[in-house]
Amino acid sequence: MPHTATIAENLCPVVANAWVNAEYKYLEVTAPPVALAVEPGQFFHLRCPAVGEDQPFLRRPMSVYHIDRAGGRIAFLYKVTGAGTRGLASLEPGDVLDAFGPVGNGFTMSAPGGHLLVAGRGVGLATLAPLAARARECDVRVTAILSARSVDLMMSEELLRSAGATVLTVTDEYATSHVDAVDALVREIHARDPIDAFAICGSNRLLLLLQRLGRELGIPGEVALEQRMGCALGMCYACVKPFRKQPDSESLTYRRVCWDGPVFDLQEAVSW
């Protein structure tokens, strides 16, 4: 998919920045029209504030979790893990977030009347939420499989349900997220309502499983990848990963996650 959107440095006033559980925060900002044009799967390159000894030099890529075009707002869901995200966590209502973008190529929507299965784990759930909302606008049915270590770390259920998705949750805590269990779940869904496409993010285990099922059942798919980045514009080549040259090939090539992706053909990805 070609890059068609305008890319800009957007200065976005913070509306909210609240904890949703012990590890993740929800950051909502007011956004200008350029930023509101973001499509599911695209991302912003965020400037992270310096706090104490944390002095982030590079921006951090962050996929959009929610797009409210009518209200003029976008939101991010992020895990607080290092200097950059600790800086983001320090933002308070009234502060300004510097969000460069929207950047990258997003998801390709299934044909109207189709059935899309989205599967994500952890922060990958944030990337898939806007896709479910867009699917409803395009008359595409969505089944979402949400995976997490435990019930208290499960996210996005309400947002996905509000977007019209049928939501199924699996966790390590209850031993429902292992490969065999999810394999059986996907086959059951497909037998009941044939799946036309997969979309996944957030787990190498899910990637490999749905690649195998996609080949066996003839279901195409896309995967949104994450990678450390420098410029987010394809110039620095800091985010290069290996890919299969074609879905059915074992010959490898190398692509930039920021500019050639971050959404790629499911069968061409080597790892998440």
pLDDT in tens, 198-229: 999 999 999 999 999 999 999 999 999 999 99
In the DSSP assignment, the letter for residue 268 is G
What's this model's pTM, rounded to 2 decimal places? 0.94
Q: Which residue(s) pair with 79 in the sheet?
A: 24
SS3 state of residue 207: helix
Angle at 206 between CA 107 and CA 181, to 5 degrees: 130
Helix axes 204-217, 179-192, angle to 10 degrees: 40
C-alpha–C-alpha distance, residues 1 and 108, integer Å: 8
> Which of 102, 111, 134 has the alpha carbon at shortest distance from 3?
102
What SS3 class is residue 132?
helix
Residue ranges of domains in the chain: 8-103, 115-268
Instruction: Supply 262's token pair.
Output: 């971050």
Q: How many CB atoms lie within 10 A of CB 20?
A: 12
Q: What is the pLDDT of residue 122?
A: 80
Distance CA 202, CA 119 (A): 9
Between CA 23 and CA 114 the distance in angstroms is 35
pLDDT at 64: 96
CATH number among 3.30.1330.40, 3.40.50.300, 3.40.50.450, 3.40.50.80, domain 115-268: 3.40.50.80
pLDDT of residue 248: 85
What confidence score (pLDDT) does residue 155 get? 87
Kindly give the parts of the chain with pLDDT less than 50: 1
How far is 202 from 48, CA to CA, in rounded Å?
22
Candidates 3.90.1150.10, 3.40.50.720, 2.40.30.10, 3.40.50.460; correct CATH number of 8-103?
2.40.30.10
Q: How far apart are the first and last CA of the chain?
A: 20
Q: What is the pLDDT of residues 230-249, one digit of tens each?
A: 999 999 999 999 999 998 88
The percent of the chain in helix, strand and coil, each rounded to the nearest 5, is 25, 35, 40
Tokens of 147: 């995976």
The reported pLDDT for the residue numbered 1 is: 46
Q: Write the CA distances from 185 to 60, 120, 123, 170, 177, integer angstroms.
A: 35, 14, 22, 10, 10
Residue 164 CB neighbours (<10 A): 14
